[in-house]
């Protein structure tokens, strides 16, 4: 019995092969007088293989009626193609029908809009563009781990369910086993003591606080997993469920953090260019004509680094008309970030040392006592792809920040403990994996780089 060969291997074949077995889905069929062409794809790579079916093959009349989308197995001979456009083709000896596709199969031999394909998210990976992005997603996940492994970072599996309501990165989804039609109450308030965990529980919005404890023990660490935010965001770059990568380095400051962020983005872009060439070509050709020059620009140049204060000065002197005024102390608006990265510098920009009042409590206060050692990496078209900071490692300063912002320091006891016992300077950031995929593919809507997007009012599939 011959084993099934995947097309990615078969198409690389050095020589003709007497007997091969392939399985996949029909992309298109063209019927000739005495034989028929079938283009088959099995998802292992972008390319199809052409199959020649002569009319003396068993059940020929049934085979020529197969339409786009049908699944078949083919045994035959791998031969050099007589036609132009492909090196190899399979001359079929026998074809087995695994699953027919009736004529209402929603994917046609033509370009569909992303909006339509999103309504058939269960079938869109059978299209060229979506199979390409999901192969790239898989390969880049691997590259994330490879990058950190090469640098001796440890992968930490921080919890997805959290009892900590102090992660502070956004609105959280509640996790409960209580009967929502009959919620236990005590003195008018929800009685969480009767819930599964005996306390209020949520899905994580960030693994950072947890992973910091491992940073201050294993040294350099990172998380890579799903993250959940229940903000009512309706944009092309936000989802309720997304994957985030959060490295955290011990004995490191904000400059080490910026360096790691740049190296990480450059590594992943370079990896894409070297390891995903076939899929990348599709994006460069059909999705974003400037993709290759964008990627080369990222790989070949240091990211611009400028402080928030310098960025504000630059924006004020730019003579640009902005809808929102530029003012020291206010956060940069999207239009300001876009100006910096798309118009002024035309490359990725790292803005650092933001006013402390617009940033989170755990970010380290600088000597000027007005700014914190925070940094955002901004890229053209997408905006913020990385947000990070050096963490406040000084016990007393951190305690004051927590209470000063109106939080209860008792909720942060274990976090404060890490500063009480053997504290060290450390820094880290969060990178949105889907935003990175947008960057390397040119795909402009984040819902199109994840298998089944979750956004407000959307939980299909």
Partner RNA sequence: UCCCCGGUAGCUCAGUCGGUAGAGCGGGUGACUGUUAAUCACUAGGUCGGCAGUUCGAGCCUGUCCCGGGGAGCCA
Give, as ranges, the residues between 123 and 162 that touch RNA (CB under 7 A).
none
State in angstroms the smallest separation of the CB of 304 from RNA.
Answer: 18
Q: Which of 123, 169, 183, 424 binds RNA (CB under 7 A)?
A: 169
Q: Which C-beta is closer to RNA: that of 309 or that of 445?
A: 445
Q: Are 418 and 208 in contact (CB under 8 A)?
A: no
- Look up tokens 């990496």; give the residue: 377
Q: Which C-beta is closer to RNA: that of 31 or that of 256?
A: 31
Q: Which stretch binds RNA (CB under 7 A): 145-153, 194-202, 384-392, 408-416?
A: 384-392
State in angstroms the smallest separation of the CB of 166 from RNA.
Answer: 14
Please give the residues from 41 up to 80 whose contact with RNA meets the rule CB under 7 A: 50, 52, 65, 67-68
Q: Which of 2, 13, 194, 234 binds RNA (CB under 7 A)?
A: 234
- What is the arrangement of strands in the sheet containing 201-203, beginning at the earlier edge strand? 161-162, 201-203, 174-175
Q: Which C-beta is closer to RNA: that of 108 or that of 290?
A: 108
In whole angstroms, give the CA distance from residue 48 to residue 226.
33
Q: Is residue 237 at the binding interface for RNA, with CB under 7 A as the rule?
A: yes
State in angstroms the smallest separation of the CB of 317 from RNA.
Answer: 20
State in angstroms the smallest separation of the CB of 8 from RNA.
Answer: 18
Q: How many residues bind RNA (CB under 7 A)?
A: 71
State in angstroms the smallest separation of the CB of 375 from RNA.
Answer: 10
Q: Is the dihedral of CA 434, 437, 439, 441 positive or negative?
A: negative
Element (H, E) at 411: none
Q: Is residue 2 at the binding interface for RNA, with CB under 7 A as the rule?
A: no
Q: Which stretch binds RNA (CB under 7 A): 11-19, 27-35, 184-192, 412-420?
A: 27-35
Please give the residues from 283 up to 312 whose contact with RNA meets the rule CB under 7 A: none
In whole angstroms, give the CA distance from residue 51 to residue 81.
10
Q: Which stretch binds RNA (CB under 7 A): 274-282, 293-301, 326-334, 398-406?
A: 326-334
Burial category of 356 from C-beta neighbours within 10 Å (exposed 0-12, middle 13-18, buried 19 and up): buried
Q: Is residue 194 at the binding interface for RNA, with CB under 7 A as the rule?
A: no
State in angstroms the smallest separation of the CB of 351 from RNA.
Answer: 12
Alpha carbon dihedral 356, 202, 430, 209, in 10-degree steps, equals 70
Closest by Cα among 105, 89, 117 to 13: 89
Binding mask 424-443 for RNA (x = CB under 7 A): ------xxx-xx--------
Q: Is residue 281 at the binding interface for RNA, with CB under 7 A as the rule?
A: no
Q: Which of 238, 364, 391, 401 binds RNA (CB under 7 A)?
A: 238
Q: Which C-beta is closer to RNA: that of 195 or that of 380?
A: 380
Q: Is residue 86 at the binding interface for RNA, with CB under 7 A as the rule?
A: yes
Q: Which of 258, 308, 447, 449 binds RNA (CB under 7 A)?
A: 447
Phi, psi of 245 (to 5 degrees): -115, 125
Q: Is residue 334 at the binding interface for RNA, with CB under 7 A as the rule?
A: yes
Q: Which C-beta is closer to RNA: that of 2 or that of 235?
A: 235
Q: Which of 239, 249, 258, 269 binds RNA (CB under 7 A)?
A: 239
Please give the residues from 89 up to 118 whose contact with RNA meets the rule CB under 7 A: 89, 91, 103-104, 106, 108-113, 115-116, 118
State in angstroms the smallest separation of the CB of 456 from RNA.
Answer: 7
Residues for the chain: how many in total?
461
State in angstroms the smallest separation of the CB of 78 from RNA.
Answer: 12
């Amino acid at each position: 019995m011959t084993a099934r060969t995947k097309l990615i291997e078969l198409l690389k074949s050095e020589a003709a092969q007497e007997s091969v077995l392939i399985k996949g889905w029909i992309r298109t069929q063209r019927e000739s007088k005495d034989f028929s062409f079938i283009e088959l794809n099995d998802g292992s790579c972008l390319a199809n293989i052409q199959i020649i079916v002569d009319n003396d093959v068993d059940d020929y009349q049934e085979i020529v009626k197969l339409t786009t989308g049908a699944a078949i197995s083919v045994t035959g001979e791998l031969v050099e193609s007589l036609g132009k456009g492909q090196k190899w083709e399979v001359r079929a000896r026998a074809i087995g029908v695994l699953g027919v596709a009736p004529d209402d199969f929603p994917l046609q031999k033509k370009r569909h809009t992303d909006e339509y394909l999103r309504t058939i998210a269960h079938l869109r990976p059978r299209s060229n563009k979506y199979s390409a992005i999901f192969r790239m997603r898989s390969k880049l996940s691997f590259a994330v781990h490879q990058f950190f492994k090469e640098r001796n970072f440890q992968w930490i599996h921080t919890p997805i369910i959290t009892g900590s309501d102090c992660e502070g990165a956004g609105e959280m989804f509640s996790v409960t086993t209580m009967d929502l039609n009959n919620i236990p109450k005590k003195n008018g308030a929800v009685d969480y003591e009767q819930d599964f965990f005996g306390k209020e529980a949520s899905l994580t919005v960030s693994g950072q606080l947890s992973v910091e404890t491992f940073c201050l023990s294993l040294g350099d660490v990172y998380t890579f997993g799903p993250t959940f935010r229940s903000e009512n965001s309706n944009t092309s770059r936000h989802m309720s469920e997304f994957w985030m990568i959060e490295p955290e380095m011990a004995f490191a400051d904000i400059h080490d953090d910026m360096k790691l962020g740049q190296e990480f983005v450059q590594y992943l872009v370079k990896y894409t260019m070297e390891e995903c060439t076939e899929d990348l070509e599709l994006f460069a050709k059909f999705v974003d004509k400037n993709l290759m020059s964008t990627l080369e620009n990222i790989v070949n140049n240091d990211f611009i680094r400028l402080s928030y204060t310098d960025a504000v000065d630059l924006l004020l002197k730019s003579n640009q008309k902005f809808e929102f005024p530029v003012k020291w102390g206010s956060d940069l608006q999207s239009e300001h970030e876009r100006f910096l990265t798309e118009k002024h510098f035309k490359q990725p920009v790292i803005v650092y040392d933001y006013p402390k009042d617009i940033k989170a409590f755990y970010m380290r206060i600088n000597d000027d006592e007005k700014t914190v050692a925070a940094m955002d990496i901004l890229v053209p078209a997408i905006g913020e792809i990385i947000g990070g900071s050096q963490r406040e490692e000084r016990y007393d300063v951190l305690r004051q920040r927590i209470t000063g912002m109106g939080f209860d320091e008792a909720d942060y006891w274990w976090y404060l403990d890490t500063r009480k016992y053997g504290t060290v300077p450390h820094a880290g950031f969060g990178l949105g994996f889907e935003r990175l995929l947008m960057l390397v593919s040119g795909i402009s809507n984040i819902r199109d780089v994840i298998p089944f997007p979750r956004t407000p009012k959307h939980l299909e599939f």
